[in-house]
Chain A
Amino acid sequence: MLSLDIAKNEVRHLFRERTFFLILSVFILITLASTYIGWSSQHTVESVYQQSVLTLTAAGKNIPPSPFSNLPPLDIVKNMIIYVVLIGSLLAITIGHAIGTKDQKAGVVRILFSKPLTKKDYLMGKLISMSMVLFAITGVSLIISVISVAILSQISSALLLNLIEFYAISYVYMLGFGFLGLSFGLMKKESATALLIPIIIWVLITFALPEMGSALYPTSSLNPVLPQTNILDSPMLSAIHNVLYPFSISEHYKVLSSLTLGLQQTTTTAYVAYPPLISLSILVIWLLATLGVSVRSVSGFDISRGDIYE
């Protein structure tokens, strides 16, 4: 019960923060833009193909079939995968950070815990608000995607289900980062450090692991169409891959998302991805692990502490 009061207060607070709206609007805008960008590049690419066909015909050469002739209908939302990895997870870290540090910044920790409030209720309240806010944002994002797909491409109940599945996976992925932001917000006494550590973890997961384990250049991991790498040809690289790939959460998320959106033929790299069920389990483990971190962080939380530095 007390945890619900805490959760309510968190949500109310978040909606009074300007910076929250700043990052939220970036995310919403990018959701809007991503479908349009997908649609516009798809159209251009189709025209580029037509133009190439003319060139080839004039030269009297063989005309290869269009690689875009049977694009899946949800191809135009494929950029969302990247925006979840980039913006969505950072947004979640920001929200978690705000929720985790709020009471310390306000300097009310001692008052709070002079009330009959357990650390467990306190953490529960924070976790609930984190999950609810992110749920709402993901929901808005889903609705925007559904509407824009319906306008720019086509929609059916099966496609709708795919989109819902995709956003459910994205929710799990982002929520893990939210829990991390929350945990370090509770753990660290300096606000900047508390924000920085989850961002470092994010850099590792988003860029470093894919590079070390799958030889993807950091900026290439931002491309929804993954470049081909032949890491299995090098025994050393394939050994590193075998060790690191299970931990490369962003890759599991990407593979799983592309499968859900029906894009698998364009996103697979040369290495063998895990069966979807294993990738999914890894995502769930990721969420549970971050949940564990938050439980640890609250058990070490000093309730007699005063203010923290920003």
Chain B
Amino acid sequence: MNNMLTIAKKEFQDIFRSRTFSIILVLLLVLTATSILVSTLVFKSQVSQYESSLALLLSMGKTPTEAAPQLYPLNLLRGVVDYIEIIGAIIGILLGYLSIAKEKNTRTMKLLLSKPITKKDIVFGKITGNFLFVSLTIVFVAAMILASFLAIGGISLTAVDYYKILAVVILSIAYIMVFFTLSFFLSIQQKSLSNALMICFTIWLVFVLVLPQIGDTMDPDNQVPGGFFKSMGFDKPQEKAVMAKFSGYENTRDFIEQLSVTKHYERAGFAIFGVKTKYNDMPFPDILADQWFNIVSVFGLLAAGIFADAFIMYRNREAWSV
């Protein structure tokens, strides 16, 4: 246990010493902040638009038909989920890679193994160290979100909102760690480190960017700006009735999206933050119950990743001398 903590501590310190890493981190923070800012501005502009059209209607003596836009502050966090999807995955990949690369490059793994410590200590020490770091990063992002809400002003969060943020924080840590375990695995398993990094980025490309995007592209409603069904003047039930006739197509589309851990993370994150409007007024436990499959998928993949890392560490005998 002590050995494991020693290794975890060193991992943690090493990350802080890496300059590249700090650049990526700053990037995530800056993008998150900008994203909130832009969302807020968009929202404020919608409100003022509504108000001016309301004033116009009232001056003409008519009654407004459209409800005032309602601010669910967590909606503003859609961009944050987006960025964690993309950059969080890169952070996970880099951490896993660096954790192994530093040992391979300096050939210190043999040195480590010559000490009275087990491979178990090494794997779990490294995972723990990085887990702590990722957690700290995401908690910091969350703190920054709360700070920017304060700075923007006029936004009040309910107790449930805090729970929701906490839930997404935990989910985000798990999501990033899925990519950590992946690149940790490949960095050990592949003989060449740069091959490992390239394969990781290819996987990232396919699972983070391409697969979710294929699903979106195939969505019939996405074919017209503003939504096809809206242009036809359909409401949700009507839309559902029509789409029911295309269940084969819709299932294929859904299946492609489900292949990607990113989509699971995104669906759960969007649901909790109420980006999909139907979740806005749903009680929090119901949202979690509704999203159980996506949440379990993320954590299941993480468990599989940790298992694979331990497995490859035990099985691997020679790769360290590269």
Chain A interface residues (CB < 8 Å from chain B): 18-19, 22-23, 26, 30, 33, 37-38, 40-42, 44-45, 47-49, 51-52, 55-56, 61, 64, 67-68, 79, 82-83, 86-87, 90, 94, 101, 105, 190-193, 195-197, 199-200, 203-204, 207-208, 211-212, 215, 217-219, 222-231, 233-234, 236-237, 240, 266, 269, 309-310
For the A-B complex, the count of residue pairs with Cβ-Cβ distances under 8 Å equals: 192
Interface-forming stretch among B168-176, B209-217, B297-305? Answer: B209-217
User: Is B82 a contact of A51 with CB atoms below 8 Å?
Assistant: no
User: Is B242 a contact of A52 with CB atoms below 8 Å?
Assistant: yes
Could you tell me which residues of chain B, from 210 to 268, have a CB within 8 Å of some CB in chain A? Answer: 210, 212-214, 216-218, 220, 222-226, 228-229, 231-234, 238, 241-243, 245-246, 249, 266
Minimal beta-carbon separation of B195 from chain A (angstroms): 5
Judged by a CB distance under 8 angstroms, whether B310 is at the interface is no
State the CA gap A193–B97 with chains docked (Å).
12
- Contact-residue bracket for chain B: 35 or more
Interface-forming stretch among B3-11, B113-121, B199-207? Answer: B199-207
Judged by a CB distance under 8 angstroms, whether B35 is at the interface is yes
Minimal beta-carbon separation of B193 from chain A (angstroms): 4
User: Is A203 a contact of B217 with CB atoms below 8 Å?
Assistant: no
**In the complex, per-residue mask of B177-216: 1 if CB is within 8 Å of any chain A CB, else 0:** 0000000000000001111011101100110011011101
Residue contacts A-B, CB under 8 angstroms, 20 given: A26-B202, A42-B223, A44-B220, A48-B242, A48-B243, A61-B233, A64-B232, A67-B223, A191-B194, A195-B201, A200-B23, A208-B34, A211-B38, A215-B41, A223-B222, A226-B225, A229-B42, A237-B42, A310-B193, A310-B194
User: Is B38 a contact of A215 with CB atoms below 8 Å?
Assistant: yes
Minimal beta-carbon separation of A214 from chain B (angstroms): 9
Minimal beta-carbon separation of B190 from chain A (angstroms): 10
User: Is A225 a contact of B224 with CB atoms below 8 Å?
Assistant: yes
Chain B interface residues (CB < 8 Å from chain A): 19-20, 23-24, 27, 31, 34-35, 38, 41-42, 44-46, 48-49, 78-79, 82-83, 85-87, 90, 94, 97-98, 101, 104-105, 192-195, 197-199, 201-202, 205-206, 209-210, 212-214, 216-218, 220, 222-226, 228-229, 231-234, 238, 241-243, 245-246, 249, 266
